[in-house]
Amino acid sequence: MGYTTIFDGTFHLNKRLLDSEAIYLLEFSRTRRMNRNPAILQDVPDTARTAVGLPLGKEGCYFVNEKWDEESELSIVDYNHPPKTQPGLWCQWIPTADGGGIQWNGMEKFYDYVEWLQYLINNFIEPWGYVLRGEVNWQGEREEDVGMILVESNVIISPEGAQELLRYAVSPVSVPKVVWDCLQAVEATGVPLTGWYELVDRAVELGHGEAALWVKPNIEKYLDGLNRGFEFEGKVIKMTDIGL
């Protein structure tokens, strides 16, 4: 299962990355981006990260020494959700062999690739004093799923709105009050749910018919919310809170 996109081309940097920076970005790509407890990681060796002067970050977002707890998993808060600042579990953009650019690592099922590129620009490339430019073409499994990512001076020109795409990807999904009330009611039952259809059934049982009618036409938003949580006027519910 899943969907694979192939990328052709390289984004070029105005100068080569330092070895420590290239190593960190490689380790960042190799590690599953999981929500972690920074308090547990305070005294854990993380050489690649400390070499580039990065903190642990929110929910351990910059931590890359995954081998430290690959068996005990002491620091992992949620294996299936990334830190709230990151758009997914895997970033598949890596430095080129000579450190002079950024390219796809060749692995399958790369999701949120525009958002991840914007994240790298915001958090590493620009703060470290580099300028990225170039174009990379993509081809998805569907024949009509083709396109190009164009970058000029650290700005993603195409597709448009990359900053907004990243902001959306790391924010809870806003829902109407009727849906929010329904989610709270479902949470109060303490009965785990496994899919949207079960939520619809439970919503009807609990007398939230209007919320049940909202789900199917908004299925993409709902599925996004399963990963990122839902919000109404600044209040947030994580779907893990109600067993999803």
Each residue of 111-134: pLDDT tens digit?
A: 999 999 999 999 999 999 999 999
CA distance 217 to 211: 11
Q: Are residues 122 and 237 in the same domain?
A: no
Are 86 and 80 in contact by the 8 Å Cβ rule? The answer is: no
Range list of H helices, 43-123: 47-51, 113-120
Are 6 and 139 in contact by the 8 Å Cβ rule? The answer is: yes
Using one digit for the tens of pLDDT, what is the confidence trace for 171-201?
888 889 999 899 888 888 887 766 788 888 8
Residues 6 or more apart whose CB falls under 8 angstroms from that of 168 comprise none
Helix (H) or strand (E) run with residue 222 in it: helix 219-228
Q: Are residues 121 and 181 in the same domain?
A: no
Phi/psi for 22 (5° steps) reads -65, -40
pTM score of the predicted model: 0.83
Nearest to 160 by CA among 121, 101, 118, 119: 118
The confidence band for 16, taking pLDDT boundaries of 50, 70 and 90, is very high
Q: Which domain holds residue 22?
A: 5-169
Q: Are residues 153 and 202 in the same domain?
A: no
CA distance 21 to 48: 8
Instruction: State residue 241's pLDDT score.
Output: 55
CA distance 61 to 141: 30
Of all residues in the chain, the percent with pLDDT exceeding 90 is: 69
Span between the terminal Cα atoms of the chain, in Å: 20
Are 26 and 94 in contact by the 8 Å Cβ rule? The answer is: yes
The number of distinct structural domains making up the chain is 2
Q: What average pLDDT does the segment 151-166 reach?
A: 97
Q: Are residues 69 and 13 in the same domain?
A: yes
Helix (H) or strand (E) run with residue 153 in it: none
CA distance 93 to 136: 11
Last residue of a domain, one of 113, 135, 169: 169
The confidence band for 243, taking pLDDT boundaries of 50, 70 and 90, is low
Does residue 136 register a pLDDT over 60?
A: yes
Q: Are residues 211 and 107 in the same domain?
A: no
Q: Are residues 163 and 217 in the same domain?
A: no
